[in-house]
């Protein structure tokens, strides 16, 4: 197991609960002899901290471990910034669901202490890259840990597009759009659209139509190494958007092409030793417990 000495801390802004947890985490990490590096924006919430600061992207170059305090959205943003550097990431939940940020605030010292002692589980989660091209020229690019979504933007009109997988024509569809999700994102927007829950270890991508005009259109699960191409019809009057993790938006236009594929770099996500994916699903999705409990 890796030894972590240079610890970066990223947190959700505008939350008093995050500040309280940040203060507790700072005291604990310093007591363990760690060198603590704060995200520049987060550091403004902690005046007089006397710690090194840097951007999230730079943390990937100088840190052995990054701790994210916030919800899953905070970790999604950190993942896109840190995946290329391969620095491990662990999340402290100060949001609502906590699928990715799975250390509770009241266990922060015990669980982070275990991680520092080398007692943890590490997973690799792949990301997607989306490139929007106009007349063959790239006009926008973004990464996603959860999903890439083609949608009408602010309009309430259907869009029409053609879907190709590995160069093979799949279908032409009229719908509100298409969700392209990783296993990590299968419990997010994809699930709301009727998509399947995929275990994080699967090397697969799910395509979920959004309110398709054809009732036989259903979610399709494909190999994780597949190249996906969407050609937006040039005949529509809507200017759709391509959203990555619901946080980065690329404006598109009729006739544009969206290409989506797996990034070569993966996120290293750390969990406590007692992490159980199915227990997380039970707790977060309201699944039933065992009959004898």
Q: Could you tell me which residues are annotated as the binding site?
A: 72-73, 146-147, 157, 174, 176, 187-192, 247
Eight-class DSSP state of 185: G
DSSP secondary structure string, 163-184? EEETTEEEEEEEESEEEEE-TG
Locate 113 and state its tokens: 């202490």
User: Whole-angstrom Cα distance, residue 220 to residue 208?
Assistant: 7
Binding residues for NAD(+): 72-73, 146-147, 157, 174, 176, 187-192, 247
With residue 27 as reference, give the H or E element that holds it. Answer: helix 16-31
Asked about 39 being catalytic, the answer comes back as no
Candidates 39, 72, 102, 143; catalytic one: 72
Q: Could you tell me which of 244, 242, 266, 268 has the C-alpha nearest to residue 253?
A: 242
Give the torsion sign (CA, 32, 37, 38, 43): positive
Q: Which of 23, 32, 97, 18 is CA-nearest to residue 64?
A: 32
Catalytic residue numbers? Answer: 72
């Amino acid at each position: 197991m890796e030894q972590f000495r240079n610890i970066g801390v990223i947190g959700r802004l505008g939350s008093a609960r995050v500040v309280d947890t940040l203060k507790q985490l700072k005291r604990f990490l310093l007591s363990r002899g760690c060198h603590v590096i704060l995200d520049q924006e987060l550091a403004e919430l902690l005046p007089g901290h006397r710690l090194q600061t840097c951007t999230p992207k730079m943390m990937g170059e100088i840190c052995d471990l990054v701790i994210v305090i916030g919800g899953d959205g905070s970790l999604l943003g950190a993942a896109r910034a840190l995946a290329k550097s391969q620095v491990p990431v662990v999340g402290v939940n100060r949001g609502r669901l906590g699928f990715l940020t799975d250390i509770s605030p009241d266990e922060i010292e015990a669980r982070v202490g275990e991680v520092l002692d080398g007692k943890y589980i590490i997973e690799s989660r792949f990301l997607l890259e989306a490139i929007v091209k106009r007349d063959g020229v790239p006009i926008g690019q973004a990464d996603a840990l959860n999903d890439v979504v083609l949608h009408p933007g602010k309009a309430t009109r259907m869009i029409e597009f053609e879907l190709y997988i590995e160069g093979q024509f799949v279908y032409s569809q009229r719908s509100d759009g298409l969700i392209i999700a990783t296993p990590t994102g299968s419990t997010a927007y994809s699930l709301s659209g009727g998509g399947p829950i995929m275990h994080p270890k699967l090397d697969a991508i799910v395509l979920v139509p959004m309110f398709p005009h054809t009732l036989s259109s259903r979610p399709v699960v494909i190999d994780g190494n597949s190249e996906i191409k969407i050609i937006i019809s040039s005949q529509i009057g809507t200017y759709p958007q391509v959203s990555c993790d619901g946080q980065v938006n690329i404006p598109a236009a009729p006739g544009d092409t969206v290409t989506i594929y797996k990034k070569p770099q993966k996120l290293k996500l750390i969990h406590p030793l007692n992490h159980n994916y199915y227990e997380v699903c039970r707790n977060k999705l309201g699944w039933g417990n065992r009959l004898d409990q």
